Every structure is written in structure tokens, then in C-alpha cells.
Structure 1
Amino acid sequence: MSRQRYDFDTVAIGAGPSNLSLAALYEGACGRPLPVFERSPGPTWHEGLMLPGARLQTSWIKDLVSLVDPRHELSFLNYIVSTGRVYAFLNAQFDAIPRLEYARYLAWAAGHLDIRYGTAVDRVAYDDGFELYGGGRLLGRARHVVFGLGTRPHVPSCFTGRTLPGVILAEHLMGRLPDLTDRDAPAVVVGGGQTGAECVLALLRAGFHDVQWMGRRHWFAPLDDSPPANDFYRPSYLGFFTGLPEATRRRLLSEQVATSDGVSMSSLQEIYRAEYEERLENGGRPLTLLPGRDVVAVSGRGGVVTMRCRLTTGGHEFREARHVVLATGREPAPLPFDAEMAEMVELDATGEPVVEQHYSLLWKHADQHRVFVQNRARFTHGINDPNLSLLSVRAAYIVNALFEREAYRIRDEHTFTVWPDSHPR
């Protein structure tokens, strides 16, 4: 038994979907609330990316709880019924639900959980348990900790540390749109994924007449949402993938990228239709697609941003724009370990913490004090990791590991895909 006193057996840091799912299933397993520390003053989820018409790329049944506990009170179905909108929701016949609806569902669920808003944890230390600090003040001690810190915008290195007035992060676009009054000036969206597509649509709807969409791949690839692609987002494949050699995992991830990082077909259709109708009505060329371009250098002068782009076909070209929207993906937020704690964590060849089977970190005192991470195990657990598809499954694995019992049984038995054995006889 530890000689130290703990304020919490387990504490979660970050109140995004991952830790909301964890908190819901944790309380369902033991009847006690899981305290979740969240730096923002209230419920929020990608607030700046609630662009008009934005849709979730994941089925609503893959909510916080239903894949492992469909009778849980915090299911999306219970939310839509208890808020009195179920019939309107059904009659709207959404192929994919609005992202704003999902954000409101998360806020509704958070209201039933122990979310401690306005509590930023900026340092985690170890002393026979975890000490959580915020603003230089000790917030509490915990036996185990779960990080669900989410992501932050990835900014290409050529834009980093530069002050270029015309450059806008995608998550700031909606707030900046009213100030962008020169609608005839070129506006470039950098990033060929779903967020880039939504930014293109937002600019077209706002009346911009020269929108240019730039992406690194040789085409703007649609999301592969086919049944075989969705086999990668099943517990059975997760179990297979984690047992593969590292080099094999990395190779397969590069092959599977279109199942996660593509554009919804409905968004692509809407873009093509919007361009066609605008040209039909007003002439001109409101939209130019620029695939196969990677921005490698940037400069600004006289209110114009100049970008040097490396081409997939070889060579370079220059592009100028008054406004540049960066929709260049997201990256994991850094873990707030202090220097001594960080030294105890095992790192892989890329400098990232080693994530074990049940999302726990490999570190010096893992036999007594567990550190779990969510949304940063892509290279060990597969393409599904930062995705919402296995949200509740991941949380269930963590809950089972915390309680060292099968609090939730994860079933995926109706399979007919036989993946190749990585250790053939």
C-alpha cells in the first residue's frame, strides 16, 4: 500500500470526446464519477470548425457509449429523444449528422459527468503517484492518469513563426470572414482534406470569386467509406494490427490513408455543383483546383502572400493570394510531463512515447501507476486511433485495464475477412 494519500484514484485530463466516453463508461463500471480536468471555461469541441453545412464523417451510432453499452443513458439516441428532436431529426434524413449536432450532444453528455471546467493542467510530476499542477498550484494527486488532450492545428514549417496578415488558420476562418471584404481578390485554401473542402465551400458561399484549392496529393481524394475500408475500424482489426511488426504497421498505415484523410463524397459533389452554378449564373471561374502542390516557402509584401510550391510532377511554381487559409491537418497536443517525469517514459524511434496494448504508456512505474493516452497511438493501434469510430471501444479497453477485469465485453465475432498471418508457419 502506498504511503501517500491520493485525492483521486484516477483522473482524466481533457474533456474532448475521448475522455467524455471514458468518464461515461468509468462511472457505468463502478458507480463513481471520474473527475475530468478541462482548461476551457465550458463545453467546446472544434468550435472554430463549425462551418455551415459541416457534417460528421462517422455514423451517429458510434457515439460515446453505444458500441459497448447500448443501454447507457448517455447514448446519442437518448440525447436526441430526451431533447425532443427525434422526429425532426429522422425526417431530415441525414446521411451524416451535422457537426454542430454532435457538438451539442457532447455538451449534453458532459452535463451528466464530473467535468471540472476552467482547470488547466500544465504540469504533471511523479512522487509515488501523479501530482497535477496548474498555474503553479497543486490541483491534486492521483494514482492513475488518462490524457485526452486532443489535437492542435498543424502549421507547415514555412509558415511557422511568420507574421503574415493574410494567413488564417482554418479554425479562425468563420470569425474572420466578415472582415475579408475584398471578395474579388484571390483566396487560397491549403490542404486537400475534409477541412479544406469545408473552407472552400465557406468562401464560395461568402461570395469570393477567385477561390483556389491546393493539396499535396495528385487529386482531391474522396473518403473511402466502403465496407472493406471500414473493416479497418473494427476491434477485430485493431487486435490484428497491434500484433504486427512496426515496419509493417507503418507501411499499412500509408496504404490506408484514404479511409481517414479523404473528403466526403457529398462535399466534393457540393463543391463541383457550387462552381458550376456560379459560373453558369455569373461567368468567370470562381474555383480553381490545384492538386499536386506542396507549399515549401512563403513570403509576404504589400498585403500579398507569395507561396513557392513543389510540384508532384517535378519543379516548382509560385502562387500569390491576398488571403491564405491553412487547413493543413492537426497534430497531437504535447503531454505536460515535467522534465523528471518525461525521463521515465520510454520513447520510440521518432521520439513519441511507446503506447502498449491497452493505450497505457511504457514507463518506469507502470506496474503501480498507469498512464493512459488517447488519440496518439496511430502507429501502434492503427488508422482508427484519432478517429471517432472506435471511441467507446478504446475507452472500454482503458476501463477494463484500470479495473483489471472485463467491465465491458468487446464483441466483434461476425467477421469473414482473414488478414494475413505476420508469422506464417
Structure 2
Amino acid sequence: MKPQDPDTPRDLVGIGIGPSNLSLAALAHPLAELDTVFYEQRPHFDWHPGLLIDGARVQVPFLADLVTLADPTSPWTFLNYLRTRDRLYPFYFAEQFHTHRAEYDAYCRWVADNLPGLHFHHQVDAVRWNPERDIFEVDFTQLDTDGEAEALGRTYTRNVILGIGTEPHIPDPLRPLVDTPGVPVVHATDYLTHRDTLLTAGHITVVGSGQSGAEIFLDLLRSRPTGREQLHWIGRTPTFAPMEYSKLGLEHFTPDYTRYFHALPEPTRDRLVTTHWQLHKGIDAGTLAAIHDELYRRTLHGGWPDAVLTPGVRVRTAGRIATTRIELHLEHTEQNTRSRLTTDAVVLATGHRERNLDLILAGLDPYLRRDSAERPRVDEHFRLLLDPSVTATGCHAYVQNAERHTHGVGAPDLGLAAHRSATILNTLTGKENYPLPTRTAFTTFGLEPTPPRQTTHSTTIGTQRGTFVRLKD
């Protein structure tokens, strides 16, 4: 990163330092012509620390690190991280295609600790377009070690990228639980922080039938005495369903499918998003097997474990009983029956949602193009569609992990992070810094293939079905 006069525009300012923007920063690092800086309000990098349960694994292979699928020669690969720790041979003999979640977190922290241009304890407050200078203004607050405001700052940039990630989702009927005093009610994101307290509760209910709910239920089950488990696991899905993990099913997480999805009409995209839940909200088959094995082991000497697993159930309302217990009002979606469940602690494994960009983008609202649902429109290069008065200057705003409505199920997937980052950098620089593959799936997702968009750096290639263009974003 070159020394920077505060009034001199940077080439790129990144907002948020999660895996997506960390991937972009790592791939931007060797591009000497780019002057970049990234801001994050947290004091350091961490990746869902409350869910780093012992033994839990990342659901994508280790090749889906920050950079490998765009540049396997990068110094920021997971394999190079292992090399710096003298762990290549142990990893080799472990034969683990899917790494431990805690290990992925440690790898990302290694990148964040060694990569220049990352500024933690910096909270971005606003992004504005300055029409007089034809430049973006980014206002930020520098925080002290206690998270209090220490100084205000402003930087100018030709391009900005938002990678602010997701936030815990609490469905409306469950919101009263969060403010219940004296009773442990935690979102899965904070599970490990409150685990010791949860284990002292007489009866524990886990709400949510995805991977996090399964991992937490398994961890609680393994930690409770046989015959006195007193656990209840409920979820809205009709079954505790395995994640779609067939090899052709996984091709929904390829750039080919992303291009196909982006080219579909908006109503079709919205309908498809709701049908893809088992591609990313299902449960790893190994986790389901481990739960069954643990339950079966407890029947070896007769009797059944004191654990109830009930899918197809939604929470209608929730409330407090006295000051020590919680009552969940349940409805079975298939039986159309209702009941009440009294419990001493609740873990809300209800997932995460994309953060609302409107607050941080309020300064760009007059220039922002929205779809029929008032969501920001995003082009195939992950750029927000802004007024031509902005884009004609060559300045753009990009988003990461906030474009599921335009790019499909793969938007938050770690396996597409490197490709997306490379696409953004190629587009931003107008150069093929990272050659990207022209085809990534055996599946052809439409009657006619959706070719990569042609740019000034494209090369024509032949195929059996016609002529396509190589993606040179």
C-alpha cells in the first residue's frame, strides 16, 4: 500500500473484513498499481466464534480458501498457511478434505494479521457520492480498545466495496425471548459464550433445523447424562433433512450457475431462491448420522433417551413463566395442531440474514437503481447499478455476500469467494489479472447456455454448440 494523502482518492475502499473482503484484499495485495484500504469495526478478525464447536467442520473443501480457486500460487493459500505452521505433513496424513471450522478461522486470522492495508476498530458511518469531485466519500470513526469513538476520518475513493456480511436472524415470534431476564436465551452465534450456563439448565430447547441447530443439539446431547438429557429440538422443515451434496447438485455453486441465475427474470429468481433451501440450509449427513449414533448408544441397556426431535413445527408465540422458565406456543404445520412447551433455556439456531445496506448506502440513494422489491440491483460484475452520472466517471460500488437476489444460492458460499473477488479486480482494473475459467459445470442450466459476458479483453473460443466468449471481467 502506497503512502496516502487524505485528499488523494484511493483506488478501492473495502467496508467490512469478513471472508469475502479478506479474499479480495489478499488477491489485491500483489497488484502494485492498486491503492486499497479495508475498514472493520471489530477489534480483530473472527468468524462465527460462537459456533467453533469442537469437531465441527467447514462444509466446503479446503480448496475453497480465500484465494486458491482464483490463484493457487498465491502466498495466502490455506496450504501455505499450513506450511508456515509446519503442518503440511500432518494435514497430508489426516486426509481431511473438509477442515475443522476452528482451523479455517485460524487460517483467516493468519491472513488478516499479515496482510497490509487492513484497519480494524474502524467503523464506516456513511458512503456518499461527491458530484463536484466525481468521487466517493467514505466517513469513518476510529474506535478505541473499549469500542468508543476516538477520532473521525474521511477518505476518498474511486471504488468502494461493501462486504459487511450477515447478522443473526431472530424471527418475530421469538423476539420476546431475547429480552427475557434470568433465562438463558441465546442465538446460535453466541452458543459457545453461553455454553456453560446452558448446560446447567434443567431443560433445553434448540429451535432451528439447519446445520447449526444439528451441531448444537449434538454437542448438548454428548454433554448431558444418559437418561437425563432433557433436550427438545424443533424446526419448521418437514424433516431434519440432509444437505444436497451430490456432485451435480453442487454445481449450483459454480460461476456457470451464477451467470445463468443472474440472466433470469426477477420473478423467476425470487421463486428459485425459496426452492434452494436444501442446497444451503440442510444438515450434513455425517452430523445426522452422529446424532442417531449417539441416541442409539443410549438405548443399548434399555429405555429411550430423554430427547425429543420434532420437525415440521413452528413457534407461533413465546412468553415468560414467572422469572425462570419460558413457554413456547407451537404449531405443527402438517397436523395443524397446537401445543405448549415449557423450557428452561433456548438456543435460537435460526440462521443469519444479509445485513440491510440502506443505512450505509443512504448517501447513495439518489443514484441507486432498485428492483420491484426495492432491493439494490447488482450487475453481473457485482456492481451496484448506479446513475450514469456516477458510472460514467469510471467509479463503481461493489457488493459481496449481499446479492443472493441477483446471483443466487452461491452468493454467501465460501467456494465462490475467490472467483467473485477475481472478477471484481479484473473489472476494476480492466485487466486480466486473474484468468478465469470459461466453463465450471458439466450441467447446462438452460436450453441455451449462458455465456460469460464479452468485454474488451475477451477471446473467442469454439464449442460444440456454437461460439462463446471467454470471461475477462
Q: TM-score range by the shorter chain?
A: over 0.9
Determine the structure 1 residue equivalent to 2:105: 103
Residue in structure 1 matching 2:305, options 285, 293, 296: 285
From the superposition, tell whether residues 7 and 420 of structure 1 become closer, same or farther in structure 2 (CA, over 3 Å).
Answer: closer
Matched, 1:166 2:161: no
Determine the structure 2 residue equivalent to 1:367: 392
- Would the aligned equivalents of 2:12 and 2:35 in 1 still touch at CA under 8 Å? no
TM score, norm. by length of structure 1: 0.93
Secondary structure at the residue paired with 1:122? strand
Determine the structure 2 residue equivalent to 1:324: 346
Determine the structure 2 residue equivalent to 1:186: 203
Deviates most, 138-147 or 407-416: 407-416
CA deviation digits over 1:122-166, x for unaligned, max 9?
222222322222348223221211011011100011222552233
Deviates most, 402-411 or 344-353: 344-353
- Would the aligned equivalents of 1:220 and 1:263 in 2 still touch at CA under 8 Å? yes
Using the TM superposition, give the Cα deviation of residue 96 of structure 1 relative to its aligned residue in structure 2, in angstroms: 1.8
From the superposition, tell whether residues 320 and 36 of structure 1 become closer, same or farther in structure 2 (CA, over 3 Å).
Answer: same
Using the TM superposition, give the Cα deviation of residue 324 of structure 1 relative to its aligned residue in structure 2, in angstroms: 0.8
- Would the aligned equivalents of 1:221 and 1:262 in 2 still touch at CA under 8 Å? yes
Equivalent runs, 1:233-312 vs 2, <5 Å = 233-280=253-300, 283-302=303-322, 303-312=324-333
1:73 partner amino acid: P
From the superposition, tell whether residues 12 and 58 of structure 1 become closer, same or farther in structure 2 (CA, over 3 Å).
Answer: same
2:353 partner amino acid: E
From the superposition, tell whether residues 55 and 23 of structure 1 become closer, same or farther in structure 2 (CA, over 3 Å).
Answer: same
Distance between the aligned counterparts of 2:272 and 2:31, measured in 1?
35
From the superposition, tell whether residues 117 and 423 of structure 1 become closer, same or farther in structure 2 (CA, over 3 Å).
Answer: closer
Gaps of 5+ in 2: 1-5, 142-150, 451-473
- Would the aligned equivalents of 1:353 and 1:361 in 2 still touch at CA under 8 Å? yes
1:323 partner amino acid: A
- Would the aligned equivalents of 1:125 and 1:337 in 2 still touch at CA under 8 Å? no
Equivalent runs, 1:8-407 vs 2, <5 Å = 8-30=10-32, 32=34, 34-113=36-115, 114-127=117-130, 128-135=134-141, 137-160=152-175, 163-164=179-180, 165-180=183-198, 182-183=200-201, 185-207=202-224, 209-280=229-300, 283-302=303-322, 303-313=324-334, 314-335=336-357, 336-337=359-360, 339-364=362-387, 365-368=390-393, 369-407=395-433
Question: Percent of counterpart pairs with the same letter?
Answer: 32
TM score, norm. by length of structure 2: 0.84
Distance between the aligned counterparts of 1:108 and 1:31, measured in 2?
24
From the superposition, tell whether residues 187 and 7 of structure 1 become closer, same or farther in structure 2 (CA, over 3 Å).
Answer: same
Secondary structure at the residue paired with 1:120? strand
Secondary structure at the residue paired with 1:152? strand
- Would the aligned equivalents of 1:279 and 1:286 in 2 still touch at CA under 8 Å? no
CA deviation digits over 1:153-207, x for unaligned, max 9?
0001122255223311112221212223545x22111111011111112211221
Using the TM superposition, give the Cα deviation of residue 346 of structure 1 relative to its aligned residue in structure 2, in angstroms: 1.9
- Would the aligned equivalents of 1:21 and 1:391 in 2 still touch at CA under 8 Å? yes
The Cα RMSD (Å) is 2.2
Any runs of at least 4 consecutive aligned residues in structure 1 with deviations exceeding 4 A, and if so which?
281-284
Deviates most, 322-331 or 295-304: 295-304
Gaps of 5+ in 1: none
Deviates most, 218-227 or 103-112: 103-112
Distance between the aligned counterparts of 2:340 and 2:448, measured in 1?
46
Count of residue correspondences = 420
From the superposition, tell whether residues 416 and 339 of structure 1 become closer, same or farther in structure 2 (CA, over 3 Å).
Answer: closer
Distance between the aligned counterparts of 2:304 and 2:449, measured in 1?
59
2:242 partner amino acid: P
- Would the aligned equivalents of 2:243 and 2:284 in 1 still touch at CA under 8 Å? yes
**Greater relative contact order: 1 or 2 (C-alpha under 8 angstroms, separation 6 or more)?**
1
